[in-house]
Structure formats: C-alpha cells, structure tokens
A and B are shown apart, each in its own frame.
Chain A
Amino acid sequence: MPETLPPPPPEELLRPVAHLRLKAAALLLLTLALIAGSVLYLLYARGAFEPTQRLVLIADDSEGVSVGMDMTFSGFPIGRVRRIELAGDGNVRIAVDVASRDAHWLRESSVFTLVRGLVGGTTIKAYSGVLTDPPLAAGAARPVLRGDATAEIPQLMATARQLLDNLQQLSAPDSALNDTLAQVRQLTQRLNAPGGALGVLMGNEQDARKVLQTLDRTQQLLARMDAVVARADRQVFGAAGQPGLVAELRATVAQASGLLQDTRQSLTRVDAVLAEAQAVGANAREASADLGALRAEVEANLRKLEGLINDINRKWPFARDQELRLP
C-alpha cells in the first residue's frame, strides 16, 4: 500500500507561543516540585525525620511480622518494626523504633504481645499497667507474648467435637441422662400422689403407714407425758389447799436445823464430861505409879517370905515324905 499521506501544514509546526521559555520552566518546576514533595512526604510518612529509640522484642516465632508494621499502644501506633533477625539462641529479635515523643508510654513493667488475627495481619501491642513505673530504657530487650488466634483453631475444633460427642451421648434415647430424667419423672409422680414424700422416703406403702402409726402413737405418748408431768408438778409444788413436796421439805429442813442445834448443845456437855474424865484419868495414872512401887515392895516381901519358909522347911525335922507311892 503506497504512502499517500498529505504533507503537514507548515503553520502547525511554526505557531509561536508567548513566553514559551517561562512557561516551560514553570512546567518543569511544577514537575520537580511534585516529585520532590512526594519524596519528602514519603520520607516523613516512613518516619525518616522522627527521633526514635530502639526496643528489641524477643519472640519464638516471627510469622506474620514484617518490616514496617506498627506497634500500637491503646490502638495508637507508636513504633515501627525496623529489622527482624534470628538470634544465636534460635529466638527472633524484632527491632522496633519507638518515636521518642511516644516512648513515655512504655514503662519497665510494660507487656508486649504479638497477636495474629483471623482477618488482617499480625499486630504488636504494648500494654503499660503502671504508668508511674520508671520509663523503659533505650535499647531494652523484652520478651513478647504470642497470642495466635488461628493456632488455637484445631485445638478449639477438637474440644468442640468432644463437647458435641458428649452432648450427643447425653441426649441419646438410651443415655444415662435420659434414664435419670425418666426416673425423676416417676419420682415426681410419686411425690404428687397422696402420701408421696413418705412413700418415696420409705420405699413402700406399709413402711409409710407404720411411720404414720408411729407418729400417732408418739402423739398419744406425748399427751400422756403431759398429764404425768402435770401430776408431778402438782405433787412437787402443791395444788390449791394442799401443800406440795417442796413445802414439806422446807418444814423438814427447819426441824433438822432445830435437831442440829440440840445436838450441838449435847456435844458441848459431852465435852465437859470428857474434860472431867481426863482429870480422873490423870489421877488414875498417878495412882498406878504408886501401885507399881507398892507391888515391887510386896514382891520383895513375898520373896523374903518364900526364902524364910524354904529355910524353915529345911530346918524342920519332921520333914514329911510328900511322895505318893502306889501299891
């Protein structure tokens, strides 16, 4: 196909533009300003002009953590993850740059968590319970607690399945719970019947009837006991015009008191008698001592007399033969 295009009109190429250089320079400046402004805004947005302090979080797993993600405090971003590295002991060191103007929210007692949500990314959160604690030093290393919502799902599912199985077993037609409920229904029916509670407690009708009889007899017994006690009361405390045991006892006690008084006087007299007897005894003792001496004298005289008789016997010529002779 031959080229049959018309030549360009010359005025299209040569049309003059007023203040061309100025306008072109302004346009260039606009472009440069746009690009430079964008670059500066980007640097500002990425925190290049912000004084920061370093915080190292130590985690056992860096899954979901990315460079540039925020660390939040009460939902407000106060720091950015700058570097993630594997430490010598196998832990993960997450270096976070915390803006100096927000660093006062972090205290020595602050707690850091790394949470993976079901939707959205991982978040690093800081919690400061005691804001009066000393502020966290620059370059401090802190352990980070992991809370993984998705990691708990399998465990949760297993537990839920177990729970559902248990529920199924519980609600099955031949389950223990069902039997229990049936028995409870029977029990309720028996309770609702006349004399139900006693029947439930005793197990059968006869025993329940016996309990009722026992109760009746107990009631009768109590009535009789009442009468006995009333009689005893009357006897002990007396009735109208009839002194009771207590009044008689009181009179007896008065009589006993008189008797005791008499006894005391008698005893006093006995004391006097005893004193005289004592004096008689003393006299008798003296007399006994004289009797001893007398006795000794009598004994000596008797001994002398015996000796004298013996002498006479020896000396007596008519000594008799005193020996008896049998034929």
Chain B
Amino acid sequence: MFDASLDRLWRGAQRWALGWWRIIDLGAVVLVLLLSPSSYGRGARDRLARQIYTDTLPILPGFTALAALLSLVITHIVVVTALSYGLTRYALEMVIRVLVLELIPLTAALFVAMRTTIPSGAQLARLRQAGVLQAWRARGADPLRVELLPRVLAGAYASVTLAALSCVVALVMAYLGVYGLTTAGLSAYTRMFGQVFTPSITLVFTLKTLLFSLAVALIPMAGGLHPPPPGALLGQDGAAPASLARLFAVLLLIEALSLMGNYY
C-alpha cells in the first residue's frame, strides 16, 4: 500500500518535471527558430501571415469592445467611489494603474489563450494524432517549423496586439469617463499618465506583456505537441488540462512578479 502510493507520487513528480521541461525546451527551440533567418522563407511567411491573420483579426473587435466596456464601467465605479470619499485627485491615477497596468494585459492574455492558443494547441494535438506531423517529418520537413512556429508567433503576436489596442482603448475610455467629450483635461491627463509610467514601471509593464504573450503562446503548444503521459486526463478538445493549469500558474506567477516589481 505504502509502496504503491510512493510509486504514484514518484510518477506524478516525473510527469510534473517532464511537463515543465517540455515547455522550457520548446521555448528554447522556438527562440532559436525565431532568430534563424531560414524560418522566414516564402512558404513560411505565407503560413505565418495566414496564422497571424486567422488568430488575431477575428477576436480583435470583440475584445476591444469588451475592454472599452470594462474600462468605462470600472472608471465610473472608481470615480463615483472616489467622489464620495473626496479623493477625486487620485481616482484617475488609480484607474490607470488598475486597468492599464494590471487588468488589461492579464485579460488580453487570458482571452488570447481561450480563443486562440488553446484551440490551436488542440489542433496541433489532433494533427499529431492524425500522423500529419510524422508525415511532414517523413517528407524531410521539420514539423516544428511548419506547424508550430507560426502558431506560437501568431499567439504571441495576438496577445501583444490585443494588449496594446485594449490599453489604448482603456486610456481613451478612462479619459472620456472622467472628463467627458472635451479636450480641457488633456494636459492634466497626459501629465498624470507620465507620472504613473515611470521608467521602471514601463519596463515591468513591457516585460510582463511580453512574458504573458510568450506563456500564452508556448504552453498550450507544448501540451499539444507531445503525447500526454499515460494516465493523464484529456479535455473535450484534446488539450491536456495539465497544460491549462500550467498556463494559469505561469500567468499568475508573472503577474505576482510584476506586482512585486512595481510596488516593492
């Protein structure tokens, strides 16, 4: 009984270590491929353009509208609350810090993961099961370059684009929510924006957005590329729940690190 539970624990630890190692390994391989000029041949460019287009454009309007709505609602809540406490001076700064610095990048990453990269990872798993990847390999092509690199790049790109666009939309909405349709508060708003985005906070924000996009793009692909270890559960769409859990854990870790970087 004791031996069996120890054995199960050992296997679990092995699966855990293997899963993380595959992510790190895939990340290194993708980085190498990204930096190799041969990855950007004509066929690869077409494939990349198609992947970027199909991964980003369909979700862009919906997410932008969602971000605008969310920004407007949160701005209104914060401003009304601050007004009742007599702290309106700090309301706008708080809106920018909460929305633009913290909420929007995380929401964008989660949105891209849900709508793009997790289905893309599942698609990769289906291709692997159907033997398409082996077929590419048999024809002398690298399935990592053909199938994986465009998906990873498109996922990362979608995450960055959504974060950038929704941050701009959130900034505009916060301004409109506080000042209304007037340019009178523009200089004060710009000054306050400059005070919030100090060089260190800007660096942390940029790094956070990039790491979010990498995590969102890499982890579901790593789950789809390799067969799940025996005994692992599979979801409806073929993606392993373990890789989803890893994705959320990594996103949380990056968010926690960025908060520590900003406020400690």
Distance in angstroms from A52 CB to nearest chain B CB is 13
- A30 contacts B195, CB within 8 Å? no
Q: A17-B53, A119-B87 known; A7 and B164 CB under 8 Å? A: no
Query: How many interface residues does chain B have, given as a range?
Result: 35 or more
Q: Which of A20-28, A136-144, A211-219, A306-314 contacts B (4 or more CB under 8 A)?
A: A20-28
Name which of B52, B160, B167, B202 has the most chain A CB atoms within 10 A of its CB.
Answer: B52
Q: Is the CB of B193 within 8 A of A45?
A: yes
The CA of A12 and the CA of B227, in the complex, are separated in Å by: 22
Whole-angstrom distance between the Cβ of A33 and the nearest chain B Cβ: 9
Stretch at the interface among B8-16, B126-134, B177-185, B253-261: B126-134
- Among A3, A37, A119, which residue has its beta carbon within 8 angstroms of that of B227? A3
Q: A168 at the A/B interface (Cβ < 8 Å)?
A: no
**Which of B90, B130, B195, B231 is most buried by chain A, counting CB atoms within 10 A of its CB?**
B195
Looking at B54, B126, B198, the one whose CB has the most chain A CB atoms below 10 A away is B126
Cβ-defined contact, B194 with A24, below 8 A: no
Within 8 A of A (CB), among B53-75: 53-54, 56-57
Looking at A30, A37, A69, the one whose CB has the most chain B CB atoms below 10 A away is: A30
28 A-B residue contacts at CB 8 Å?
Answer: A1-B231, A3-B238, A5-B129, A5-B234, A5-B238, A7-B126, A8-B132, A17-B50, A20-B49, A20-B50, A21-B46, A21-B49, A23-B57, A27-B53, A35-B164, A38-B164, A42-B194, A42-B202, A44-B190, A44-B194, A45-B193, A45-B194, A45-B197, A68-B194, A68-B198, A70-B195, A120-B89, A120-B90
Besides A3-B234, A34-B165, 8 other A-B contacts (C-beta < 8 A): A1-B233, A3-B228, A3-B238, A21-B46, A45-B193, A46-B197, A70-B195, A119-B87
Which residues in A have some Cβ–Cβ distance to B below 8 Å? 1, 3, 5-8, 12, 17, 20-21, 23-25, 27-28, 30-31, 34-35, 37-38, 41-42, 44-47, 67-70, 77, 119-120
Nearest 6 interchain pairs by C-beta: A45-B194, A7-B130, A24-B49, A34-B164, A46-B194, A31-B161
